[in-house]
Amino acid sequence: MFISTVLLLAQLTVAFAVPHNKRAEAFVNPTSAGGSYARRRGGSNPADLGEPLNVIISGLSSPDVLTDDGFLNFARAIGFSTECLGLHLGGPQSANLGDGNGYVNQTVELRQDYGDSVLGTCLESLIGGNHLRVFRQNGPSADTGALFLAVSKEENVAEGHTIVANGYNIGRDQLVTNATNGTPSFDGVKYSSTLEIQTGLLPAGSTGVNHGIATDGVTKVLTVTIL
């Protein structure tokens, strides 16, 4: 009896010692359950043109990175911040990530901050630059915690913030370069990111894409680790 009790306690100790702070999957393909890699402008109408969800922050990233506050800190480390004075023009965008939640509005929109995390996005609002929208895969069918980003480079305010030529590929690549170049940091937190390139998730070309701007069909997956 004594030996059995000791063995049971040992098993419990091992079980509780194993950290459960990592998701089991990087992400689940949204199209496998009726979702889409293209977000919709202002609603869930399938006839709406979409913009590509061209960057994924893997569910295998450090757990804090996948929270709202944690992702914001990471975004600031790679040159993005909240919108100018907290003001946002236009309605939220929606996406269906195939996780059982259907179409859900964006979690947040962030803009290039030009080196100033407080007021730099006001400059982006005027002259244009990179920006992103965040959608979280956390529904009952695919609770990976992965963050799907719609990243694109946009024109200045006089041009109505339309996307620049090749702006989806340019915006995606700029973000990934910032994330994988060394160990970016913000507010004392350092990050290291590894990159995986996925093809075949997004269709190449301009069919169904907002503004008729073609994409190369590449999705870039980042696994972000807090150092």
Between 37-51, 117-131, 169-183, 193-207, the lowest mean confidence (pLDDT) is in 37-51
In a domain, 207, yes or no: yes
Element (H, E) at 179: helix 167-180
Q: Which residue has the tokens 């757990």?
A: 63
Q: What is the mean pLDDT of residues 80-90?
A: 77
- Is residue 53 situated within a structural domain? yes
pLDDT band (50, 70, 90) for residue 15? very low
In a domain, 212, yes or no: yes
12 within some domain: no
Tally of structural domains, the chain? 1
Has residue 49 been placed in a domain? yes
Q: In this predicted model, what pLDDT tens digit does every residue of 182-219 receive, in sequence order?
A: 999 999 999 999 999 999 888 899 888 888 899 999 99
The sheet carrying 189-199 orders its strands as 80-82, 108-112, 129-136, 147-154, 55-57, 218-226, 189-199, 185-186
Who has greater pLDDT, 51 or 192? Answer: 192
Domain membership of residue 9 (yes or no) is: no
Q: Which domain holds residue 181?
A: 23-226
Task: Kindly state whether residue 10 falls inside one of the protein's structural domains.
Answer: no
In a domain, 188, yes or no: yes
CA dist 41 and 99 (Å) reads 20
